[in-house]
Structure 1
């Protein structure tokens, strides 16, 4: 597919689809670029469409919607540069206001044609089984290991090892490992600390542990293992989406993925986004 730009609009969002249609018209008129769109948007605005995963062959993908839309796009397109246009409430990942979208996208396409597209990278996590028996798709937010279910009677004993040394072991609903991006998501809801997005670190947080477990911030290069036992079943989940059953006793290794997510355009305003949670 020899197309430079892909556009993904949030599902069932008329405003996102209308902006996508405007972007297509402007890029065609000003730069001779004919972007492709996701299949649902293509049906809505009568434009050439492809599966989002096929946009991995593009040089730039524009995500129009909330952070959830960008997370989905990032999973599908790998390390292809992504620009987020924010139609959501918070906007930890999407830095561009809809009113600025045309100007920013046109500027990026102009630089794209000059081969000078700059961006910043967001780390992703990979969960693997013993002896590399299996590997989950990379997670931008977090990897979670938990028992059969959350709540009373549904937990498991989970041990946390860092570089082979035991940090904590307790009966718990689960344990999660989060990136700086994911520190604002599931980690925050479990009373884990916020990590500024420019910090090179990961955080390990317990979920309803029987014995107190202080969240631990670690260097991304350390070896992290989460071992689950004393349960009939367990699960490892990446970004709340990719889920694999475990047969305790089992050990899951969590490490930084080789390929990060690459965002282009202006950086999100982290503290402004935090203020929207209040």
Structure 2
């Protein structure tokens, strides 16, 4: 079995926990890859996260940001999230239980008993391009946020007009992403067990309330009224659009696969206060 470990960059606690987990795995005769930054701190050869698609399991140590970074690179490889004290909607395992839980997952792998949960990703597409998939949200926006920087939007769900008008942009979120950027934009909380996509206009002049639609919905957004706009996946990997432009957002073919115990969603919500 091959296990990858990705630790939060620049965090000594995450780095030393990664090495502790590495040592226990190797004592159990499992092969281990550390990410490049962590390995460099311990004079070991590391591996880019993108190579960890070859792993049977990847352990992400940090917060939700580290988990999302890991998920972008490892494709459909199962991820076990270890939370170092942040809100942790994606990381159910505390640092004190991390070694035990990793060894339990290794045992499950060896016995072909690994249980995983799937969380949807989103992808945006244009005529000749496709965005990086997003576990939290895809944002379509004008050249900048604020007065005079938005765009004219026409939003359709499965071909039917939902809303049109001027706005900073529109945010399309997964249930996982409902607690992230969507929440700061006044969108609803959605339990991760719900099969839904959230459509949330950002600072619309005369927009509609946020809408939840089924996972198999196709959203089409026409952006105009400015020279350019942007498509942003999970807060990064921005693509510049020449306007007017038509963008389609759907669920991606490849979900995030999450191993280990489930997060207590409501306990994690209480940490937002």
Q: Does the alignment reach a TM-score above 0.5?
A: yes
5 Å-filtered alignment, 1:10-29, equals: 10-29=8-27
- Alignment counterpart, residue 89 of structure 1, candidates 83, 86, 91: 86
Residue 249 of structure 1: aligned partner: 244
Alpha-carbon distance between aligned partners in 2 of 1:5 and 1:179, rounded to the nearest angstrom: 28
Matching residue within 98, 107, 110 for 1:110? 107
Matches within 5 A, 1:60-75: 60-75=57-72
- Which of 148, 154, 159 does residue 153 from structure 1 map onto? 148
Residue 222 of structure 1: which of 217, 222, 235 is its match?
217
Change (3 A) 1:48 1:117: farther
| 1:196 corresponds to 2:179 | no
Residue pair 2:163, 2:207 contacting (<8 A) in 1 also: no
Where in structure 2 are there 5+ consecutive unaligned residues? none
RMSD: 0.9
Q: Summarize deviations over 1:63-82 as a string: whole Å, max 9, x none.
A: 00010000000000010000
Q: Distance in 1 between matches of 2:25 and 2:156?
A: 51
Q: Secondary structure at the match of 2:108?
A: helix
Q: Which moved more, 1:189-198 or 1:107-116?
A: 107-116
Q: Following the alignment from structure 2 to structure 1, what is the Cα–Cα distance between the partners of residues 207 and 239?
A: 27
Aligned-partner Cα distance in 1 for 2:85–2:96: 14
- Residue deviations 1:173-231 (CA, integer Å, cap 9, x gap): 00011000011111101100011000000110010000032001001112111110111
Counterpart CA distance in 1 for 2:13 and 2:175 is 30
- Name the residue aligned to 1:76: 73
- The CA distance in 2 between the partners of 1:116 and 1:224, in whole Å, is 37
CA deviations on 1:41-80 (whole Å, 9 max, x unpaired) are 1111233411111111000000000100000000000100
How far apart, CA to CA, are the structure 1 residues paired with 2:85 and 2:125? 32
Give the CA deviation at 1:88.
Answer: 3.9
SS in 2 for 1:197: coil
TM-score, length-scaled by structure 2: 0.98
